[in-house]
């Protein structure tokens, strides 16, 4: 099944939809504060994307473009995307919504970095993401995964073990 990924508006309707995600208590994925900050700043370029089932937001993520000057993950420094807080409501999981969001991000044809939640590594590996060699100063306790549309352009764990 194909799903339509939409850029979410920075408004109070989206804020109400985000509150439904907060009910499930996954604090690390809460985007309420991020959205409220964007509403206050009147930021019209929303970093939030989602999929609706009817008129209900059932899956969402935030996607931020980062300048090449901040790239510490990819060979040949370039602009890249940071995919954060991908979440699918419990009753809609295992139906392809998460995959559709990731495929949308990949369709932008830029390298992607993400910090997966505990127990989600298998999902990200199925989506083609690779672990990077851990750097204590850079990664600050996170275990980033990366994906690149450019062959052999990422620094993965296997590259540094050879």
Task: Indicate the range of 25-34, 63-72, 115-124, 132-141 predicted with least confidence.
Answer: 25-34
Q: Tell me whether residue 55 is in a domain.
A: yes
CATH number at residue 26: 3.40.630.30
Q: Tell me whether residue 53 is in a domain.
A: yes
* pLDDT tens profile 102-122: 999 999 999 999 988 778 889
Task: Indicate the range of 34-43, 62-71, 122-131, 147-156 predicted with least confidence.
Answer: 34-43
Q: Tell me whether residue 17 is in a domain.
A: yes
Mean pLDDT throughout 72-101? 90
Mean pLDDT throughout 134-143? 71
Q: Which pLDDT score, from 0 to 100, does residue 37 have? A: 55
Q: Tell me whether residue 14 is in a domain.
A: yes
CA distances from 13 to 64, 73, 123, 149 (A): 21, 36, 30, 34
Q: Has residue 85 got a pLDDT over 70? A: yes
Full residue range of the structural domain in which residue 38 is found: 6-161
Most confident of the ranges 23-27, 36-40, 51-55, 139-143: 51-55
Q: How many whole angstroms separate alpha carbon 54 and alpha carbon 24?
A: 20
Q: Tell me whether residue 1 is in a domain.
A: no
Q: Which pLDDT score, from 0 to 100, does residue 19 have? A: 75
Q: Has residue 148 got a pLDDT over 70? A: yes
Percent of the chain residues topping a pLDDT of 90? 37
Mean pLDDT throughout 11-31? 64
Mean pLDDT throughout 23-50? 59
pLDDT band of 46, cuts 50, 70, 90:
confident
Question: What's the domain count of the chain?
Answer: 1
CA distances from 17 to 46, 49, 59, 86 (A): 15, 12, 10, 15
Q: Tell me whether residue 139 is in a domain.
A: yes
Q: Tell me whether residue 19 is in a domain.
A: yes
pTM for the predicted model, two decimal places? 0.74
User: H helices within 41-72, ranges in order?
Assistant: none
Strands (E), the chain: 6-7, 48-53, 56-66, 80-88, 112-114, 130-131, 145-147
Q: Has residue 32 got a pLDDT over 60? A: no
């Amino acid at each position: 099944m194909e799903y339509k990924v939409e850029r979410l508006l920075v408004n109070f309707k989206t804020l109400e939809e985000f509150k439904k995600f907060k009910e499930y208590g996954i604090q690390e994925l809460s985007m309420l504060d991020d959205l409220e900050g964007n509403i206050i700043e009147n930021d019209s370029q929303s970093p939030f994307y989602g999929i609706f089932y009817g008129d209900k937001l059932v899956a969402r993520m935030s996607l931020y473009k980062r300048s090449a000057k901040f790239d510490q993950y990819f060979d040949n420094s370039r602009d890249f995307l940071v995919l954060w807080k991908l979440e699918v409501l419990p009753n809609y999981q295992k139906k392809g919504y998460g995959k559709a969001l990731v495929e949308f991000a990949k369709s932008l044809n830029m390298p992607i970095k993400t910090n997966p939640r505990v127990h989600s590594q298998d999902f990200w590996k199925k989506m083609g993401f690779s672990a990077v060699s851990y750097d204590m100063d850079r990664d600050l306790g996170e275990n980033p995964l990366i994906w690149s549309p450019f062959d052999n352009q990422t620094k993965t764990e296997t590259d540094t073990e050879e």
